[in-house]
Structure 1
Amino acid sequence: MHLQTYGPRGDRPLLLLHGGGVAGWMWDPVRAHLDPGRRLLVPDLPGHGHSADEDYVSHTVTVAALARLLEDEGTPATVAGFSLGAQLAVRLAAERPDLVERVVVISAQAIPLRAARPTLALLGATAGLAKQEWFARLQAKQLFVPDDLLDDYVRTSAGISRETLLRSVEENLRFVPPTAWGAFPGAATILVGSGEKNLMKQSALALHAALPHSTLQVVDGCGHGIPLQRAAWLAQLLDTLLGSPEG
């Protein structure tokens, strides 16, 4: 798994997990506003970006790989994830609380989609469109990708295999938080945009209900794109939650 790191090793790290169909570059707008001395870990998840040579297999395989990254870091981390990455953040926190001291869950679907089978069938039939530049540029606008990252999105979209697209979307649509999520001892912040679909809002409520000591916040004026729509605000929230970098 490709990993970009920033800041001095040894400080408590912030692991940033991107959503499906994009890559670690989606965190660039947030990173630009974070404390420059902070230790950051920004992977390209399997099948995406610089990790596109290995297809996405499952959340289970990916969480195990992410756990190895944090084990190598040697210091408990704050994990912030968006969409697909938010589901991974939930599982990582639930299954490896020894590695995660805090989690920020942004726009995670946590209620399985009932019509997953026909949705996946339609996706399989139209998967080739993702490699067409005109279609990718159309999708980028719906995902709130800013103009300066548009080329990154088009390039990432073209590099995603049909297998990765289908597997990652299937895992996303069928995701159920593990029972251990309700026992996560660390701090947890759950964010959802005020303009997101009702399923996403209900998912945020379900995650919060399962972990009552978590904090739930609805972000005004945002759809499914908080890290790109409100980058400076999110960076300030993360810096406030984490405090000053060590050293």
Structure 2
Amino acid sequence: MIHFDEYGNRDNPTILLLHGAAALDTFCGQYGFAEEYHLIVPHLYGAGKSAGKVYEPEGMKREVLSLVDSLHKDKIGVIGHSLGAQLAVMLVCERPAQFYFAVFLSAWVNPAPKTVKMYSRMAGMMAGLLHWKRLVRFQGKYWHYTKAQADYMAEYSKQMTPQIYRSFFENTLDLRRLPVYSAVDVPMLAICGSGEVKDMKTSLTLLGSNPHCRTMVLSKAGHDFPMRKADKLNPILREFISGVKAEEKKSRTAE
């Protein structure tokens, strides 16, 4: 089974946190939710204990679903960022009945061939940069990681290869090839930052085509807003999750 980190009491409602590409502790600013929830953070391909694995979405999806099954819970929530948000979309499309809410943060689901080609050409250089411990630690500090989190990222990032880095982009989810998404009736929230690229904002519009997915743009925020803007994001997440729980309670009462 895929390796995972765990925070909080297992008796509490579970939230699956799917980190961004090569950034295991993407949700460092949300780990405080463990006071109320049981948090599960799988080590997705290209990060942590899975750092040496090339990202392959179908295989990744199967491993995460096996982890979800092992929890033996009727329903859980899922929050994903960037690559993890793409995976979150795939999960709720595959098994909507297992999720009582889903949040997609900066989910790029509109892969333009030119953009994919550009990032793929940069793979060698970017993989090389991730071998510089000082640079990776500095990045972790910028993202408000603890020293231990930044040191760990610097350690596992040494396994990054051009092939792994390239796989993050070559396997980008294209929502237009996932027609089942339009029928998903899970309460969903999609957010991107106001400072993100046009493709990301187009992706937000595509996600919002499902009437059960609310969308919003976070002001003065870039792609790394879960780490850099946790003070703005966390109240939004709490309000959304509380609203979903209230609607579920109302529905059960009506029955």
| Same structural fold, with TM-score higher than 0.5 when normalized by the shorter chain | yes
Offset, 1:95: 1.1
Please give the residue correspondences for 1:1-247 in structure 2 after superposition, counting only pairs within 5 Å: 1-23=2-24, 25-32=25-32, 34=33, 36-53=35-52, 55-75=53-73, 76-115=75-114, 116-124=116-124, 127-133=127-133, 135-136=135-136, 140=139, 144-146=142-144, 148=146, 149-172=149-172, 175-177=173-175, 178-209=178-209, 211-243=210-242
Please give the secondary structure, in 2, of the residue aligned with 1:237. Answer: helix
Within 2, Cα distance between the matches of 1:86 and 1:187? 15
Change (3 A) 1:147 1:242: closer
Within 2, Cα distance between the matches of 1:222 and 1:152? 26
Deviates most, 43-52 or 234-243: 234-243
Q: Are 2:76 and 2:101, in contact at CA under 8 Å, matched by a contact in 1?
A: yes
> Which structure ranks higher in relative contact order (CA pairs < 8 Å, sequence separation ≥ 6)?
1
Within 1, Cα distance between the matches of 2:108 and 2:215? 14
Offset, 1:47: 2.7
Within 2, Cα distance between the matches of 1:147 and 1:42? 15
So what's the TM-score if we normalise by structure 1? 0.85
Please provide the CA RMSD for this pair: 2.3
Within 1, Cα distance between the matches of 2:241 and 2:194? 25
Please list every run of 5 or more consecutive structure 1 residues that lacks an aligned counterpart in the other structure: none
Q: Are 2:130 and 2:157, in contact at CA under 8 Å, matched by a contact in 1?
A: yes
Change (3 A) 1:35 1:58: closer
Give the aligned length. Answer: 236
Change (3 A) 1:103 1:50: same
Within 1, Cα distance between the matches of 2:190 and 2:51? 29
Query: 1:59 is aligned with what amino acid?
Result: P
Please give the secondary structure, in 1, of the residue aligned with 2:20. Answer: coil
Within 1, Cα distance between the matches of 2:212 and 2:229? 25
Q: Are 1:195 and 1:223, in contact at CA under 8 Å, matched by a contact in 2?
A: yes
Offset, 1:87: 0.3
What per-residue deviation string (whole Å, max 9, x for no partner) do you get for residues 138-188 of structure 1?
7x28x952264543443342232333222123213xx21221111111100
Please list every run of 5 or more consecutive structure 2 residues that lacks an aligned counterpart in the other structure: 246-255
Q: Are 1:108 and 1:203, in contact at CA under 8 Å, matched by a contact in 2?
A: yes
Query: 1:194 is aligned with what amino acid?
Result: S
Within 2, Cα distance between the matches of 1:105 and 1:118? 24
Query: 1:119 is aligned with what amino acid?
Result: Y
